[in-house]
Amino acid sequence: MAISLNTRLTQLLGCRYPIIQTAMGWVADPKLVAATGNAGGFGFLAGATIEPQQMEAAIIETRRLTDQPFGVNFHMYQANAGEIVELVLRHKVRAVSYSRSPGKQMISRLKDAGVVCIPTVGALKHAQKAVEMGADAVTVQGGEGGGHTGSVPTSMLLDQVVNAVSVPVVAAGGFKDGRGLVSALAYGAEGIAMGTRFLMCADSPVPQATLARYLAVKDPAAIIISRAIDGMPQRMIRNELLNQLENSGGLKRLLLALQSGLAYRRHTGMSLTQLLGSALKMRGAGELTAAQSIMAANAPMVIQKAMVDGQPAAGVLPAGQIAASIDSLPSCAQLIEQIVRDAEVRLGELCRRVS
């Protein structure tokens, strides 16, 4: 019996396999995205941490490295979200991903231009809302996933969402191999999206010292959810910085927040008013303290310390719990080939058992 991994997702995105490399701040760069595309997957550039003046160059560089389609991620709080959308339209980028909706109007502009809109959500009601706003597919990220995350486990969220929406659903949070892909398909998802597994690969730009820290984690319970960075639940590896923040009082946190806020401002070219505006928007969206709001606006800068500067003790180490069961750094090509081969073998075995 011929096994096919074609799904509505591969058709929407124009890729060979239903495997997405998600956007990860400082990590999902043109090299990683192109390597994923060349291997038959679909990658998203991390638009939230690429400097505005570098974003166009990043799109062009990705095109130079691959003739396969790819996407761009952004979040509506960033000051240059509108500029990114314009670049996506101008360069006919295949897809966008985002976690907070950029609004119905912006989504219909993107869709009218043929850009596939795939938000990431962590709760059933957000999936329903996203579809109502016009999403072409939704990625559901369960609580075991890396970075900002919800509290519902992937299996439960998938079950709820596939029953509630008619657009293709992509499963994220806790995937690394062919078994995971087959189980997601069995749930009714049309593909998987992985962050941590792609971060821990040879094409990832993350410095060796930081990757060593990821490889060293063997206990999923050491990859915790904390609100200490920006007030929002974020899953990361417990390290020195996190311990320091969790044990600091309000004033100390405010000082730490201001320090990295100023560095973020220098990096992004944001004016002080834009930084504060961004912090205020976030404050309005939740119950954040002043320190948390500023940290929320400049959190990418704290991540940079680990992801770019190679200082795993001084920066944030966003990771899914799956990091605890990853002990190798394959290339994207090896990784995707292995996942596909495993999935085909397992699907074949299941079919034989049934027949």
Which phi and psi (to 5°) does residue 305 adopt?
-50, -45
With binding defined as CB under 6 A, does residue 347 bind ligand FMN?
no
Structure tokens, 178: 């062919």
The nearest distance, CB 20 to ligand FMN, in angstroms, is 9
Nearest to 99 by CA among 86, 80, 71, 118: 118
Place of tokens 């609004």: 103
Q: Could you give the string, one character per residue 123-142, with x where binding to ligand FMN holds by CB under 6 A and - elsewhere?
A: ------------------x-
The nearest distance, CB 233 to ligand FMN, in angstroms, is 12
Residue nearest to ligand FMN (CB): 195
Q: Could you give the string, one character per residue 95-114, with x where binding to ligand FMN holds by CB under 6 A and - elsewhere?
A: ----x---------------
Nearest to 141 by CA among 130, 129, 153, 132: 153
The nearest distance, CB 141 to ligand FMN, in angstroms, is 5
Write the DSSP symbol of residue 318. Answer: B
Query: Taking CB under 6 A as the criterion, which residues in 48-67 touch ligand FMN?
Result: 48
The nearest distance, CB 8 to ligand FMN, in angstroms, is 20
At residue 87's C-alpha, the angle toward residues 148 and 63, to 5°, is: 90
With binding defined as CB under 6 A, does residue 36 bind ligand FMN?
no
With binding defined as CB under 6 A, does residue 46 bind ligand FMN?
yes
Taking CB under 6 A as the criterion, the residue among 45, 301, 322, 332 binding ligand FMN is: 322
Residue by residue, DSSP assigns 267-297 as HHT--HHHHHHHHHHHHHHTT--HHHHHHHH
Q: Which is nearer to ligand FMN, 81 or 290 (CB)?
A: 81
With binding defined as CB under 6 A, does residue 23 bind ligand FMN?
yes
The nearest distance, CB 346 to ligand FMN, in angstroms, is 19
* Secondary structure class of 96 (helix, strand, coil): strand
List all residues 6 or more positions away from 351 whose beta carbon is below 8 Å from its beta carbon.
1, 3
Torsional sign, CA 59, 88, 279, 270: positive
Whether 52 and 24 have beta carbons less than 8 Å apart is answered as: no
Structure tokens, 142: 């369960």
Q: Which is nearer to ligand FMN, 290 or 314 (CB)?
A: 314
Q: Which is nearer to ligand FMN, 30 or 174 (CB)?
A: 174
Cα–Cα dist 189/98, whole Å:
19
Structure tokens, 302: 């704290």
Sole window of 50-58, 80-88, 195-203, 210-218 interacting with ligand FMN (rule: CB under 6 A):
195-203
Taking CB under 6 A as the criterion, the residue among 194, 241, 242, 336 binding ligand FMN is: 194
Taking CB under 6 A as the criterion, the residue among 319, 332, 335, 339 binding ligand FMN is: 319
Which phi and psi (to 5°) does residue 169 adopt?
-110, 135
Query: Taking CB under 6 A as the criterion, which residues in 198-257 touch ligand FMN?
Result: 199
The residue ranges that bind ligand FMN (CB under 6 A) are: 22-25, 27, 46, 48, 73, 99, 120, 141, 145-147, 172-175, 194-197, 199, 318-320, 322
